Amino acid sequence: MDVVADSTTGTPPVFDHENLALQAQTNLLQLYLTHLASTMVPPMKIEMREPMTPSFSLSGSPNSETDDSLSAALVSSTKALFTLLGTNTTPDSTATAVSKSNNKICSVCGDKSTGLHYGASTCEGCKGFFKRSVQNKKVYHCSQENCCEIDKQNRNRCQSCRFRKCISKGMLTEAVREDRMPGGRNGNSIYSNYKQRRSIIRKTKDYIEEELEERRPFQSLPSGKKLIKELVEMDCLDRLINLRGLRINPSTNCDIAPACKRLTRIGDEIVEQLVEWTKTLPFFEELPVEAHTHLLTQRWAELVLLSAGYYACSVFTPDSPDTTEMIDETDEISFTNEQVNLRLLQNRLSLVLGKDIPFEHVSKEAGVLVHQFTLLLKSFSNLKVSPEAYVCIKAITLLHLSADSTLDKSIIDKVNTLQDHFVKTLQIHLHQPGEDQQTTSLAQILDWLPELRKASSVLLHSKMFYVPFLLCKNPRRLVFDE
């Protein structure tokens, strides 16, 4: 009955094999993210307001030659990534819509527009202001709260908010020439990349901007119900939960090999889903791709745990604190009892792998992880997080920078500003009346984040990325949508 135990060696071969493969998968993750950056970044040199460090050579993959097998795997999945990168753009409709709607009015201040300037239809004033700002590498600071309204009358009251609105309206710092050469036209590449990215999130952004044009606490990223609503709609938690690698083909008795192979592909799938999610974020275009790469690389494990945890809480409604009796019979994850979850993992792992896995092996390999995940579930379920709060927490988690971040300072400031914004948005949401006595405070949620971080390090250490998903969803019930 127990194939694994037949092995003469003391260590369980199944898990050893997996761990090796999954370790390679972690490296693959890095490569994917780097690859994402290289395909998103135009090959030209890009100068930001602050003197950019040459770290932009990230697209040039300065590292030494990668391992052959990893390269091969990378190449094989490149196609899928390219589809992720949004080739399904509608440049025509975008262009015409923009040119029509912005033909006469400056999109920044509402003054009379004199045409397209640096990517947006603006007046001479905003054009000149943007040019001087970029040329002189100006860094402005808002004396208020980054929420100044910019119109024709008061556009000179706050340079910081004016510049931010320029950016949010699509003006590109890259379009200001470093060599100051007059005349001619900028290469199409400057705008094509931007337009491609913008078209992906155009729907979201336009929607938000229509609703919140008047009162926006933050120019490029409006706060409010619409922002949260979009985030909730874009979240696609089901896609992350219904990982193909965890599905069971009911008709065929899976061999061990394909099952293992599928498990090792889960890293790919997670990256795919997270990249997809990142691209739908309203602030996607506000940050350079290397920033997204950096953030995803650092935070993906936390995002996985958060997503799985939220899914478990939303599906199983953790209102029964005493789950001691639901061992064996029930097929539900426990929020308190890690032994239940270990048993559950054993069952489901055996199911996916198509053979019995001894409990002690599961306990040995995933015990610490299950322990941490169960603790995390318990504390997370106490927060009673709403879908709206969940997407805010997710954004806050992604936008958490380590102290030793290697990003450019201007980017760090931007990321921090964005994170602050989502914290405020979350706070506003929590204070909203109508919810059934939201007792959870912002401080409670923020206090929980270190716990998430701690659990993520365990997840990274174990390399069994799929454990949270396997625990929170029965592989038998995974949706087959292909």
Partner DNA sequence: ACTCAAGGCCAG
Partner DNA sequence: CTGGCCTTGAGT
Residues that bind DNA in the complex, under the rule CB under 7 A: 111, 115-119, 123-126, 128-129, 131-132, 135-136, 138, 155-156, 159, 175-177, 180-186
Nearer Cβ to DNA (190/370): 190
CB of 181 to DNA, least distance (A): 6
Work out how close the CB of 37 gets to DNA at its nearest, in angstroms, rounded to a whole number.
24
> In the complex with DNA, which residue's Cβ is closer, 171 or 291?
171
Q: Which is nearer to DNA, 52 or 70 (CB)?
A: 52
Task: Name the burial class of residue 417, with classes exposed (0-12), middle (13-18) and buried (19+) by CB atoms within 10 angstroms of its CB.
Answer: middle
Q: Minimum Å distance from CB 101 to DNA?
A: 15
- C-alpha–C-alpha distance, residues 227 and 232, integer Å: 9
Pick the closer one to DNA by CB: 155 or 400. 155
Q: Which residues does 377 contact at the CB level (< 8 Å), separation at least 6? A: 309, 312, 313, 318, 333, 335
Which residue(s) pair with 117 in the sheet? 120
Taking the complex as a whole, how short is the minimal distance between the CB of residue 209 and DNA, in angstroms?
22
Which C-beta is closer to DNA: that of 43 or that of 258?
Answer: 43
Q: How far is the CB of 92 from DNA (least distance, A)?
A: 15
- Report in angstroms how near the CB of residue 148 gets to DNA at its nearest: 13
In angstroms, what is the minimal distance from the CB of 131 to DNA?
5
Q: Least CB distance from residue 200 to DNA, whole Å?
A: 22
Nearer CB in complex with DNA: 60/115: 115
Place of tokens 């401080």: 443
Kindly state the smallest distance separating residue 95's Cβ from DNA, in Å: 10
Q: Which is nearer to DNA, 78 or 156 (CB)?
A: 156
Number of other CB atoms surrounding residue 144 within 10 Å? 11
For DNA, the closer CB: 43 or 115: 115
Q: How far is the CB of 110 from DNA (least distance, A)?
A: 12
The smaller minimum CB distance to DNA, of residues 128 and 321, is found at 128
How far is the C-alpha of 330 from the C-alpha of 340, rounded, in Å?
A: 10
CA distances from residue 281 to 190, 226, 252 in whole angstroms, order as listed: 22, 13, 39
- Tell the smallest beta-carbon distance from residue 169 to DNA (Å): 13
Q: In angstroms, what is the minimal distance from the CB of 463 to DNA?
A: 48
Closer Cβ to DNA, 127 or 414, answer by number = 127
SS (H, E, C) the chain: CCCHHHCCCCCCHHHHHHHHHHHHHHHHHHHHHHHHHHHHCCCCCCCCCCCCCHHHHHHHCCCCCCCHHHHHHHHHHHHHHHHHCCCCCCHHHHHHHHHHHCCCECCCCCCECCCEECCEECCHHHHHHHHHHHHCCCCCCCCCCCCCCCCCCCCCCCHHHHHHHHHHCCCCHHHCCCCCCCCCCCCHHHHHHHHHHHHHHHHHHHHHHHHHCCCCCCCCCCCCHHHHHHHHHHCCHHHHHCCHHHCCCCCCCCCHHHHHHHHHCHHHHHHHHHHHHHHHCCCHHHCCHHHHHHHHHHHHHHHHHHHHHHHHHHHHCCCCCCCCCCCCCCCCCCCCCHHHHHHHHHHHHHHHHCCCCCHHHHHHHHHHHHHHHHHHHHHHHHHCCCHHHHHHHHHHHHCCCCCCCCCCHHHHHHHHHHHHHHHHHHHHHHCCCCCCCCCCCHHHHHHHHHHHHHHHHHHHHHCCCCHHHHHHCCHHHCCCCC
Decide whether 63 or 103 has the Cβ nearer to DNA: 103
Task: Show the tokens assigned to 402.
Answer: 């380590």
Question: By C-beta, is 176 or 383 nearer to DNA?
Answer: 176
